[in-house]
Amino acid sequence: MKRRELIKQLENKGWWLLRNGAKHDIYTNGKKIEPIPRHPEIDELLAKAIIKRQGLK
């Protein structure tokens, strides 16, 4: 999955960029945090795990 697609899904659900880490960007919805790797392509299994863990679908 492209990184942009995953971030777009997060932002559509009310998540925003909290800070930039060394190798990840940290997103939050005010209650939870989720590190998103800074690779142009994110592994499908990781992307699906993030989507499932944060209830995006």
The predicted pLDDT at position 57 comes to 75
Question: pTM (2 decimals)?
Answer: 0.89
Query: What tens digit of pLDDT does each residue of 4-39 get?
Result: 999 999 999 999 999 999 999 999 999 999 999 999
The predicted pLDDT at position 56 comes to 84
Four-residue CA torsion sign, 8, 13, 50, 17: positive
If you average pLDDT over residues 37-54, what whole number do you get?
95
The predicted pLDDT at position 1 comes to 93
The predicted pLDDT at position 52 comes to 94
If you average pLDDT over residues 35-48, what whole number do you get?
96
